[in-house]
Amino acid sequence: MKNALNVVELFAGVGGFRLGLEKANSDVFKTVWANQWEPSRKTQDAYDCYTRNFNSGIHSNEDITTVPDEVFQKLNIDLLVGGFPCQDYSVARTLSNEKGLEGKKGVLFWEIKRVLENSHPKYVLLENVDRLLKSPSKQRGRDFAIMLATFRDLNYIVEWRVVNAAEYGCAQKRRRVFIFAYKNTLDFAEKQLDYNSHDIVFKEGFFANTFSVKQEPYKERISTVTLPEDIVEISDEFSFSFHTAGVMVNGNVYTAQTIVENEKFIPLKDILVEEVTVDEKYYLTPAQVEKFTYLRGPKKIERTSAEGHKYIFSEGGMSPTDDLNGPGRTMLTSEASVNRSTHIVEIDGRKRFLTPIECERLNSFPDNWTAGMPERMRYFCMGNALVVDLIKQMGLTILDIEVNEHITSEQIMLML
């Protein structure tokens, strides 16, 4: 490897992106600036966790919208990473300039756009919930199309893939969409343009080389579309069904539903701590056992809508406890509270919650990564976190790309 890659991490949380990249190669991936700020909270637990675990680079605990453009212009960013909220990305013309665009206020994707406009990194790696591909429900695909068009207008090629961590060697059934964008002036881009879109998605692309798939789509689900040049037109009129994988080059979209080639996972039993170390407070009381029996059982309940109509709410049953021989289910921010989605394990005839350390392991964080914050927040932060080892695998692919790359971020800036 020739040089270190300067990384900027937005919406950093407790540092999953940074940790994964450093697991791939801490000598190459150097996080020079990271932002984590939780609005409307007096305590900044995630930021405090980040600063406890990382001691290099600049750590920003401020509203990202208030950070001046000049900060990003001076950082010489090679790789921008972040897990950003799924929001409404609609846009409109500004009143003062018919060519200007105005996105909805408070939408954090526009901050990603602002960073890109002011730094033009070679690579971008983002994470979001998989429903992003279908939002909003009344105009499916619009929001993701706006994102793709934004990258197109900034001279990026984009690949995406919905990845279930439990299908690629991890301990949790966590489905998230990952987006990898790279400047169309890179050596890697020139190489990719020698392939057709099908080959990029199934054999030669970033995700195909990181998370292998079968060479044919699921039930022949392949679609193509060309994005309108005008983002306002996309916002007002565009609708399209994006599949779980795809590539966008110069506004031309190819998308397909891929199939995992060799599924493998870590069973839940392998991430459990030794039972002798589990505090009694994690074991269910008789009243909690009874409550979970009800919550996880089948039910039909008569309810009344806001308009006064009566209807029957139905819910199928689920196993009283989680299968220790399978991967964990998707962990939510409400983990370890008394609700249907909480994991319950049964060992030696006793039922209990997962401990905070076990939740960290579900996301492939080191033990006690979140120690030091209130326990409720430890569960909350892990429910929000990504699976670190997926980022490690993607980081290794970025390293493979960078080895053959001769164009630097500084040269990209000179081209603009």
Neighbours of 35 (CB within 10 A): 23
Considering 49, 86, 170, 359, which one is annotated as catalytic? 86
> CA-CA distance, 232 to 335, in Å (whole number)?
40
Is 86 a residue of the active site?
A: yes
CA dihedral over 278, 282, 286, 289, signed as positive or negative:
negative
CA dist 57 and 33 (Å) reads 5
Q: Which residues pair with 304 in a beta bridge?
A: 310
Inter-CA distances, 42 with 35, 39, 70, 192, 349, Å:
17, 9, 28, 47, 42
Active site positions, annotated: 86
